[in-house]
Structure 1
Amino acid sequence: MSSRRTPGIVGRWKSAALLLTLGTAIAGAALAGPGTGVGQASSHREAPLIAADPQVDNTDLYAFSSPDKSDTVTLVANWYPFQEPNGGPNFYPFATDAQYDINIDSQGTGKADLTYRWTFRNEDRRGDKTFLYNNGVVNNLNDKTLLFRQHYTLQELRAGKRPVTLVKDGIVTPSNVGKASMPNYGRLRGQATRKLPGGGQTVASQAADPFFLDLRVFDLLYGGNLSETGHNTLKGYNVNTLAIQVPKSALALNCNPKRNPVIGVWSTTSRRTMNLSPGKQTASGPYVQVSRLGNPLVNEAVVPAGLKNAFNALPPSQDHNQPKVVAKVLNPELPMLIQSIYGIPAPATPRKDLQEIFLTGIAKAANGPLAVDLNSQLMNQDADKKRFVPAEELRLNMSTPVTAKPDRLGVLNGDFQGYPNGRRLGDDVVDIAIQALEGATPGHLIQALAAGDGVNGPGVPFAGTFPYVALPYTGSVNQAG
C-alpha cells in the first residue's frame, strides 16, 4: 500500500466519509445498469442509438500520469466494443465520416480548451479482385500484402486559435488478423507509433479491451448472493484505441501545471448524416455528436434509459441545466436496490456528495461535504471561478505523484492516484465500489467481500511503456465445443 499523498490532502483526508460516498457513487453506477450479459460494460453499448453504431461507440476513457515518464500525461480512449478477434474479412476499421475527439477542460467551464481530433481515410486495394484483408504475411505496415489500411490526421484544436496538424498521414495499426498473417503485431504497433512536435507520441491501434469485471453484476448484484463471480466477461474481446502522451504543460491552464494542475477530460464522437442508396452510402451535412464518455459507468447506470441518447449528444457545459439528470445524481435509484437485496441502508438524500464527485470535482472550494482538495479545477490558481460550472468530466490532478506500486483499489488502500483522480488502466472500480459502499476504510476491508467479483485484473497484462494497453487478442472468444 502506497503512503504517498496528493499535496494538500495530508492531515485533511476524511477517509471514512469520502470513501463511503465515493463508493456509493461508483457502486450505484456499476450496479444499476439495465440488461444482462455483454450488453453493458463501462460504456459499451450504453445507449439505444449508439448500440446500433459500434464504430463510433466510446467504451472507456483513461487519464493518468505516465508511470515511466512522470512529466507527461497519457490519455487513452477506446471505441468499437466487443470485437471478436476472428471477425474477418472486413474486421474493425475506424469510421471515415466521423471525428474522434479527446477533450480537455483546464478552467472548469465544461467547454474544451483543447481538443485532440483524429479523422480517418481508407486505402483499400482489394477492389473487385479479392475479399481478403491481406493476401500474405504482413511484417511491416507498408507491405504490399496488407490490402486494406487506414490513414489518419491528428489535429490540436485550441479555443481561439487556428488548428494545428500534429500528424498528417499517420498509419493505423491494422486489425490483428492472426498469427499466420501478422506474426509480430507488436512490431506493427511500434511502426505505427508517431512522435509529436513539442514532445509526446500517439498511436491508433487495435488492443485487448483493458476493462475488467464480471458482468453478472447486472444479474441483481452477482446473482443476489455473490455466487456469480470470478469470470472476466470482457476477456478475449478487442477494442479500437487512440492513445496520446503529451507533456503536462501542454494540458495545463496557461501551460503551467504547477499553478494549475487539474484538468477535466472526456471523449466524444461526432458523425455526419448518411445518405443511403443500393450498394452505397454517402456522408453529408454537418457533424453531430453521437457519443460521449467521461467517468466510467455514468451514462449506462446513472442516467435513466429515456435520457441516455440525449446525454450522449450534450456537451458537459450543459449538464447542470438538465434537471432530470441532476435529480438522478442527487437521488439515485441504486442505493435503494442494494438495500432491497442486502439490507444495507441507503444514504439520506439529496446526495450533495455525489454532485461533488461527478459534477464539480472534489475540492474545499466546491463547498460540498467532501472538504478536501483532490481533483477540481477550482484548485487551479489561474482559473476564473466565476466561469466555473458543474460538468460531468473525468478529472485528473496532474500533481499527484506517480505511485511506485499502484494498488488496484486506489484510495481504498491509500493510493490517491487512482480513480476518481483520473483513471489508470488497472483501477478496479467495481471492487472499490462494493467495499466502500459496505463501509470499508483505508486498510480495513470488509472481509466478507474481500474477494470482490473475483476479477482483479485484465485478461492479459498491460505493457510497461506507451501505449500501455495490451496487444489485441487473436483467439476465438467462443470456446463452445
Structure 2
Amino acid sequence: MSDHLSGTRALADPAIDLTDLYAFPSPSQAGLLVLVMNVFPNARPGSLFSDAASYRIRVRSVAVPAGDFGSLFDVGTDEYAFTFSFSAPTGADAKGNLTQQGTCALPNGESASLQLNDERGGHGQGVRWYAGLRLDPFFMDVLKEVETRAQRRLAFQPKGTNFLEGNDVLTIVIEVDVAKVLGPDAGTVFAVAAESVTAGPYPVRLERLGRPEVKNILLSDNGVDTANKVVDLRDLYNEEDPFRLGPSYLDAYRARLNANLAFFDGLDGKLDWPTQSDGTHPLTELLLADFLVVDVAKPYAEDSYFEIERALLEGRTHETCGGRSLNDDVIDTLYTLIVNAGRGPRVSDGVDGTVPASWEFPYLAPPNPNPPEHEAAIPTVAASQ
C-alpha cells in the first residue's frame, strides 16, 4: 500500500508514518519543482503532525550516465534539505479542531511559517508551502495485490476496488523555484527522498521513503527468500540513509530483492528478467538506489513514473520528466515492470484513479469530511494463505 504502515514503528505512531512521496515539475509554471510528502494514513478531521518529530525532504543533483545496461545514477554529495517542524497544538480552528503552527527550514538557512490547513500556505524566498489534511491521492486494489502474492498468481480483476477510497492523509506540499533556491549550478535532474526523524540536535531516523511500494511489496516476505525468514526487513530499511545504505544489512536487502523479483517475474509463466549465475536480478541495484528521479527541464506529465530509470536500464536518453505525479498509476507501472519488463500487456490492478488531484497549488483534493474507518494494518500474505 505505497508506504502506508510499512513497519512496526509506523504502526505504533501514524503521525510519523510516511505514506507517499511525489516529485514533479509544476504543470503551470516552468522552473518550479513540486514536492509532496504525505503522512498519517487514514487521518481524521483534527489529526495533527507530531511535535516530537521533524519531516524532511532531501534533494540532490543527479547525473544520468548514457552508459550500458546496468549503469547507475551518479548522485551528487551536495544536498538541499527542506525540514518541516510543527508546534504543539496552539488552539482551535473555526471547526473546533486543534491546530498547529508549522515552520519550513530552507536549504539557505531561512524559514517560512504557516498555520495548519491554511489554504494560503506559507511563503519564503523562492518557495510556497502548505501543510494540512487532504484526500489521500494513492489508489490501489490492496486485497487483490496481497492475494497475488499469497496465491502466487495474478489475481487482479478488470474492475478493481480502491482500498483507500475516501481516506485522508496529512500532507506537506512545497513549490520550489529551482534557480532561486537550489542555484543555477544545481542542474535539472534531481534525486528526491523523504524521511521522518526525531526532533532535537541528534535526530534519529524513524521512516524513510523514496519510490512507492519498495517496502510493502518489493521487500515483503513472500516465502521465497530463504536467507531471511524471521526479521522484518522494513524496520531495518527505515533506519537507512536514502542516499547511502549501510553495510550491515545490505546483503539481506539484496537477497530479499533478488528472491522477490524472480518470484514476480514468474507470475505470468515466462522469464523476462534473466538473472546472473549467482541469482542477482537486473533490477536489484537500481531499486536499492531508492529515491525518485525527476527532470524539471522536461514538461509535466502524469504518467512518467520510472521512465528515467527505464531509460537508464536501456542505455537511452529519457524522454519525460520522470518523478511521480499525484495522478500517476504507479501500481500498474510497477507490476508491468517486474512481471513482464514491459514486453507484454500492461498488468493492471483494475483501479485507474481516485478523485483527481488539481494542477494548482496545493494540488491534492480537499479532504473527505467523513473518511471510512479502517483497522491500522495491511492485509498480509500469511493471513491470506
TM-score (norm 2): 0.77
Amino acid at match of 1:402: Y
Amino acid at match of 1:94: F
Cα distance, 1:409–1:326 mapped onto 2, change above 3 Å = closer
Residue equivalent to 2:133: 206
Structure 1: gaps (5+ residues):
1-40, 126-132, 139-144, 174-188, 273-283, 360-390
Q: Is contact 1:122–1:148 with CA below 8 Å preserved after alignment?
A: no
Aligned to 1:456, which of 352, 358, 368? 352
Q: CA RMSD in A?
A: 3.1
Task: From the two aligned structures, give the one with the greater helix fraction.
Answer: 1
Question: In structure 2, the residue corresponding to 1:220 is in which secondary structure?
Answer: helix
Q: Is contact 2:82–2:106 with CA below 8 Å preserved after alignment?
A: yes
CA deviation digits over 1:173-226, x for unaligned, max 9?
1xxxxxxxxxxxxxxx423x12322x3311111111111111021112597453
The 2-side partners of 1:356 and 1:399 are apart by 26
**Within 5 Å, which residues of 2 pair with 1:384-403?**
391-403=289-301
The aligned length equals: 337
Are 1:82 and 2:31 matched, yes or no? no
Amino acid at match of 1:117: T
Residue equivalent to 1:226: 155
Shift of 1:331: 1.7
Cα distance, 1:69–1:328 mapped onto 2, change above 3 Å = farther
State, as a whole percentage, how many aligned pairs show the same letter: 25
Q: Is contact 2:86–2:101 with CA below 8 Å preserved after alignment?
A: yes
Are 1:151 and 2:54 matched, yes or no? no
Question: In structure 1, the residue corresponding to 2:204 is in which secondary structure?
Answer: strand
Aligned to 2:60, which of 70, 88, 105? 105
Are 1:293 and 2:220 matched, yes or no? no
Q: Is contact 2:261–2:281 with CA below 8 Å preserved after alignment?
A: no
Question: In structure 1, the residue corresponding to 2:328 is in which secondary structure?
Answer: coil
The 2-side partners of 1:112 and 1:456 are apart by 37
Aligned to 1:417, which of 307, 316, 320? 320
CA deviation digits over 1:434-466, x for unaligned, max 9?
33433545xxx62xx57x2221112x1211201
CA deviation digits over 1:57-110, x for unaligned, max 9?
111000000111121110000001122x4x6xxx31001111111111226557
Residue equivalent to 2:340: 438
Shift of 1:315: 1.1
**Within 5 Å, which residues of 2 pair with 1:325-340?**
325-328=252-255, 331-337=258-264, 339=266
The 1-side partners of 2:57 and 2:318 are apart by 26
Aligned to 1:164, which of 83, 102, 110? 110
Aligned to 1:122, which of 80, 88, 96? 88
Aligned to 1:271, which of 198, 209, 233? 198
Residue equivalent to 2:235: 309
Question: In structure 2, the residue corresponding to 1:69 is in which secondary structure?
Answer: coil
Amino acid at match of 1:200: V
4+ long deviations beyond 6 Å: none
The 2-side partners of 1:464 and 1:301 are apart by 29
Shift of 1:354: 1.6
The 2-side partners of 1:425 and 1:327 are apart by 29
Amino acid at match of 2:359: G
Shift of 1:263: 1.1
Question: In structure 1, the residue corresponding to 2:106 is in which secondary structure?
Answer: strand
The 1-side partners of 2:256 and 2:364 are apart by 32
Cα distance, 1:439–1:303 mapped onto 2, change above 3 Å = closer
The 2-side partners of 1:71 and 1:225 are apart by 41
Are 1:43 and 2:8 matched, yes or no? no
The 2-side partners of 1:241 and 1:92 are apart by 11
Q: Is contact 1:289–1:313 with CA below 8 Å preserved after alignment?
A: yes
Cα distance, 1:325–1:422 mapped onto 2, change above 3 Å = farther
Are 1:241 and 2:168 matched, yes or no? no
Are 1:262 and 2:160 matched, yes or no? no
Shift of 1:56: 0.5
Q: Is contact 1:303–1:325 with CA below 8 Å preserved after alignment?
A: no
Residue equivalent to 2:224: none
Shift of 1:470: 0.7
Question: In structure 2, the residue corresponding to 1:219 is in which secondary structure?
Answer: helix
Q: Is contact 2:8–2:235 with CA below 8 Å preserved after alignment?
A: yes
Q: Is contact 1:65–1:74 with CA below 8 Å preserved after alignment?
A: yes
Residue equivalent to 2:65: none
Structure 2: gaps (5+ residues):
63-73, 221-230, 311-316, 375-385
